Structure 1
């Protein structure tokens, strides 16, 4: 069907008073031959929507250009169905709310945004979703501890088939070994019976859940909607299909053998939290050294946690577990006394009620740093601490039992990670090291999930807490983050929901996250492929494998539509129906770059749609003015940056280019994991080229920005503009 474009300009929100709307209409109709161009003072109101719908139905408009507010706002209002393409031009936040009303430069800016929007609307096509012929909707859950059992039950309740794989002979994981447990729902003021037996009975009675115990996953192949799972049980291999995977393999206690400075190993009556549970299960808490009933028990918190020499992070559940164990001790021996030596008591959420209950039962709390732990000839323990409140050393002796809250280490911390390629000439010594395996992914990018620091397999812990770096595989429970029991149950329920969303979105042909609902996917023109492997190596999500000749083998349902592969490809053979290298390149070329004599420099801003664009929008909401030389093009991810855009802009006379991408790293992550970092690496190559051409390399600059830095974005732009003014006009301007 031929494309018929209708352009609709909103004159509300100050747009009509700030810019020359007639000039915008002229750009749309005269320069770009739009057959329909209309204005409305309240385009998102019912009359404005009816105006557009009338043209769609009566005039055959199938491509709508909305020149008004940002694409992030009222996207549901301007949704006219799958057969109508919509392109948004942000005149409000990026033009009239950030620049002087009625000024010539402000109207010129609006005209350029109209030109860019029209160029994109002409080139873009409505995506055709990638749909599998036979979509699997079963959900594989790996690990049957509290998190895995909860995820399995919740998914099964929603009507989905669940495949539950547990390496041990029984269900329950670490929690199954507890005598009693901390509460997981109100009231939170006392200890409860272990919930695992009831959950196990519920699983066994649910026909939607297929359970494999004493089993492991030998191989995970395929992609969301079509995972092929090979399970080993009792020496036999069983094949299952799944649409999504939930990783709930849990955590293991931190190795107490590394806590000799706290008396473990040298003092017989220094034990771990897990060992305390074993004692309590016998019906009484007695000293391991001689079986004598304990009277005084010391709980040492952060035993290895929050310690740069051991576990740098808080393990989240330890304080609550110690409080529970103190309550357990009181239940088993009402005369026993508990003493807590702690850095901070972290009884998050409603566990504060349990903390207060233990306090009222007579427990003593000493905010302190451990100095020394020793045992006398009778195996009684003496603890010397620095009391952080009194500011002096205190010695507590005749302790019958010391319980170390020794933290948790995710099961993924010891899985095999892909090795970084050696530098040219670097000699790599092969060291045999035994590594755990959990998922055994049949991915070119490695057999297990990629981890951030500390071994947790996050993707983006701020915005997408369940997602891992492999699409369709969701982590939950203590393998995802340190969690207490109540948080684990909530977390596992959320992971079940995300897995359900995954199988349904995949069946529909839509992306899951961050571009939820996106129907596009990368298409490869293999005729020009040089097998350089850049796309397979740089894809952050393992969405591209290779055949035996090194040709890319895309897996569209693994793809998150970031376009990193598109930016990586030197031959520019990768594109989306509505996002491509030529499309963005033509938007860059569509801007009218003034002659040098006009003294109106032009700065191109390529901004990530995840943090940079929202920050720019928020700057507009705050009416923060910035330099009118800039023209902003949103990118799906800065990782989609193709260097030809920079080359085209500089050769076309642009005076500067500013790249705004997400902050990357472990503490604040790029939404597409590696995109921002890859863009920065690519930019270093551009800088070398500019220097060779005699152009200032600082004409092209990269800045990391997060959404909360919106107040700084105007300053960043203005400072860059000042530098460009110092450099003077682009020497290539006269040749453009």
Structure 2
């Protein structure tokens, strides 16, 4: 497109009182040679917005550069015709609110940011949304239990069609095996009749829900908006085209055979909580050998919160045991009920059930089980150490022991969850990024180069960004819900199902519009591959955290735009720099670097270039400004979509341009990662570890490049980080490439 650029400088929020606006305007008109440059005291107000719109309509301005507040605010105000290119220059939060007013260095910083903005819009092409073929808005739900049926119904209520696949002959899942369910309504003190049959009836009667029982997924190929699912139902294959997928296959009980230390398999009357439901459903509770139960002991965390078995809490066990305690008390109020626990976890309204069991005479012992033995009448004696008093407690023979064994997600079946996910090789500094953990769960059978199932956490749960995007898996368009995503109870699973269904709907709508899903929602750009220069190195395929790139039979990358989350990690990975976005590329950032004015050595004004992740580091810098925290005036910030999009070319370009130091600010990575693109920050750190070769070639000290991990809440640490780096650069002296 033929660009006509308009620069609009806001003088409100103290900008006009802190900067020489006329000098700033000259950068645009004299250096940038823009035909339109205007200032306004309230650019985000109705008059300021009208000024811009008028120039678009009457002056033919189609490229807008707005120098004002952070692009993280007022984004809805500065939303103009989709045929216009629009870029924001942050001279409020990251200039006048973080630097002293009317200072030479503050002015230089603002002018540099304007130059960088001008360089960026000069190289931006207007993105065009990707339009796939035969895109649909049908939701595929895998798993016909409480969570899966709820997700399918919620989608249908929202006006979308759903396909529900359940491997069992009937719907209902785990709930079919319950005698009663935990209370979901006031007064929350009494277990309720299981209502799963009603939900099954609603699903089967809904014309917008297609149900396949006795069925399994043979394969899912394609991408959001155009997944092709092959379903095997009773020996015949059915194909469905769907727009997104909700995985709701739930969890199964931990193998009680591994709990022999608690007497399971050794003593007939040591049973699991699942067996207790079966016994209760028969009427009078009789233990397996036929004797009526007059006393019972529940042992919590049987295998859970145990590094030898399940290291995590399964979330449902305490409430289920409380529920089952009422079974025996209803049958015989004089019966003895013992509950041995590590911590009683009855959150929310379940506290009322906990209190009711206490009132009914339940005896709670916070203790560690030392052992279980059997007397001559097959009664069970439990020895435990009371955690609170340290005393040893031994029960008289109880009729039955119920083990509250934990839950294992179906994504982890057949795996030893207690085994360490990280091998010694993985932990070496030069080992590269940790490999994805993809277990052979045979649930989705994805036709992805990266593997047939989703990457999981080390405990086997579907991996997701647990802070910001809890339903999202690392396969775009596939959402996990219920106890396959995280340990949770029935009520939480219902809420989870609704949330996952809504996210899946958002994905289908975004895919149909040709825009990205989280976290760059609405982004119309997608990667373009200059295949003539591709060397088939596979780095883009391997390093993409989302499986967005397959390969053909000649190992050429095959991008799937609707799987892509627009992070740019593939761009940073490519050694030949063949991957670009219309509004984000290696040459574009290179031009931003070159647009920074680097003072001569004798001016004693070093320059620090900060590559900041737009998801955590950039907002942390904004927060520092909002809180009026002052940081080093040598800093110039370039926001990146993800630190994983970092190209090592930018390091060389910066040093060659005379930049004295480079600071990479990325999201926190590790087991509790906060990186919105999963592995981006980790990949940047690995790439940075190899940059010393480039610096050695330039005869520069490796200390001139540093990386740190920050979250948004670390804004108060930003000034010290930058000042400490500046101090180290002062010790190293100026970059010898200044002036060349």
Give the secondary structure class of the aligned counterpart of 2:706.
strand
Give the secondary structure class of the aligned counterpart of 1:203.
helix
Give the secondary structure class of the aligned counterpart of 2:370.
strand
State the match for 2:28 in structure 1. 28
Aligned with residue 551 of structure 2, among 538, 546, 553: 546
Separation of aligned partners in 2, 1:211 and 1:333: 43
State the match for 2:181 in structure 1. 181
Matches within 5 A, 1:559-570: 559-570=564-575
Cα pair 1:564 1:639 within 8 Å, conserved: yes
Cα pair 2:663 2:706 within 8 Å, conserved: yes
Deviation of residue 63 (structure 1)?
1.5
State the match for 2:624 in structure 1. 619
* Of 172-181 and 467-476, the range deviating more from structure 2: 172-181
Structure 1 residue ranges without an equivalent (≥5):
427-432
State the match for 1:238 in structure 2. 238
Separation of aligned partners in 1, 2:102 and 2:379: 84
Deviation of residue 184 (structure 1)?
3.2
State the match for 1:247 in structure 2. 247
State the match for 2:435 in structure 1. none
Deviation of residue 162 (structure 1)?
0.9
* Of 180-189 and 125-134, the range deviating more from structure 2: 180-189
Cα pair 2:189 2:352 within 8 Å, conserved: yes
Give the secondary structure class of the aligned counterpart of 1:454.
coil
Matches within 5 A, 1:252-651: 252-288=252-288, 290-414=289-413, 435-651=440-656
Cα pair 2:441 2:453 within 8 Å, conserved: no
Separation of aligned partners in 2, 1:37 and 1:187: 66
Give the secondary structure class of the aligned counterpart of 1:328.
helix
Cα pair 1:183 1:486 within 8 Å, conserved: no
What is the RMSD computed on CA atoms of the aligned residues?
2.0
Separation of aligned partners in 2, 1:140 and 1:419: 33
Separation of aligned partners in 2, 1:275 and 1:611: 48
Q: Structure 1, residues 3-59: CA drift from partner, whole Å, max 9, x if none?
A: 111111111112111121111101111101111111111111111111111111111
Give the secondary structure class of the aligned counterpart of 2:200.
helix
Cα pair 2:674 2:711 within 8 Å, conserved: no
Q: Structure 1, residues 540-565: CA drift from partner, whole Å, max 9, x if none?
A: 11111111111111100000000001
Q: Structure 1, residues 463-496: CA drift from partner, whole Å, max 9, x if none?
A: 0000000000000000000011111100001011
Deviation of residue 360 (structure 1)?
1.7
Deviation of residue 436 (structure 1)?
3.1
Q: Structure 1, residues 128-153: CA drift from partner, whole Å, max 9, x if none?
A: 00012321111110011111111011
Separation of aligned partners in 2, 1:509 and 1:95: 35
State the match for 1:669 in structure 2. 674
Q: Structure 1, residues 267-301: CA drift from partner, whole Å, max 9, x if none?
A: 2211111111111111122111x211111111111
Separation of aligned partners in 1, 2:399 and 2:415: 42
Separation of aligned partners in 1, 2:296 and 2:81: 67
TM-score, structure 1 length as denominator? Answer: 0.96
Q: Structure 1, residues 498-536: CA drift from partner, whole Å, max 9, x if none?
A: 111111111011111111111111111112111111111
Give the secondary structure class of the aligned counterpart of 2:689.
helix
Q: CA 1:420 to 1:675, structure 2 compared with 1: closer, same or farther past 3 Å?
A: farther
Separation of aligned partners in 2, 1:504 and 1:184: 33
Cα pair 1:416 1:436 within 8 Å, conserved: no
Q: Determine if the alignment matches structure 1 residue 81 to structure 2 residue 81.
A: yes
Separation of aligned partners in 2, 1:283 and 1:555: 56
State the match for 1:59 in structure 2. 59
Give the secondary structure class of the aligned counterpart of 2:520.
coil
Deviation of residue 120 (structure 1)?
0.7
Deviation of residue 646 (structure 1)?
0.7
Separation of aligned partners in 2, 1:265 and 1:421: 35
Deviation of residue 633 (structure 1)?
0.5
* Of 212-221 and 685-694, the range deviating more from structure 2: 685-694
Separation of aligned partners in 1, 2:475 and 2:207: 29
Separation of aligned partners in 1, 2:424 and 2:119: 41
Separation of aligned partners in 2, 1:183 and 1:326: 14
State the match for 1:429 in structure 2. none
Separation of aligned partners in 2, 1:421 and 1:297: 45
Deviation of residue 655 (structure 1)?
0.6
Deviation of residue 76 (structure 1)?
0.3
Deviation of residue 666 (structure 1)?
1.9
Q: Structure 1, residues 599-618: CA drift from partner, whole Å, max 9, x if none?
A: 11101000001111111111
Separation of aligned partners in 2, 1:358 and 1:421: 48
Q: Determine if the alignment matches structure 1 residue 221 to structure 2 residue 221.
A: yes
Q: Determine if the alignment matches structure 1 residue 655 to structure 2 residue 660.
A: yes
Matches within 5 A, 1:141-160: 141-160=141-160
Matched residues, number: 727
Structure 2 residue ranges without an equivalent (≥5):
432-437
Deviation of residue 402 (structure 1)?
1.1
Deviation of residue 390 (structure 1)?
1.9
Give the secondary structure class of the aligned counterpart of 2:229.
strand
Cα pair 2:7 2:64 within 8 Å, conserved: yes
Q: CA 1:732 to 1:132, structure 2 compared with 1: closer, same or farther past 3 Å?
A: same
Give the secondary structure class of the aligned counterpart of 2:685.
helix
Deviation of residue 189 (structure 1)?
2.4
Deviation of residue 364 (structure 1)?
1.4
TM-score, structure 2 length as denominator? Answer: 0.96
Separation of aligned partners in 2, 1:597 and 1:694: 21
Cα pair 1:137 1:161 within 8 Å, conserved: yes
Give the secondary structure class of the aligned counterpart of 2:302.
coil
Separation of aligned partners in 2, 1:258 and 1:594: 69
Deviation of residue 410 (structure 1)?
0.8
Deviation of residue 196 (structure 1)?
1.2
Give the secondary structure class of the aligned counterpart of 1:723.
helix
State the match for 2:434 in structure 1. none
Cα pair 2:129 2:524 within 8 Å, conserved: yes
Cα pair 2:439 2:455 within 8 Å, conserved: no
Give the secondary structure class of the aligned counterpart of 2:241.
strand
Q: Determine if the alignment matches structure 1 residue 137 to structure 2 residue 137.
A: yes
Give the secondary structure class of the aligned counterpart of 1:397.
coil
Separation of aligned partners in 1, 2:185 and 2:578: 54
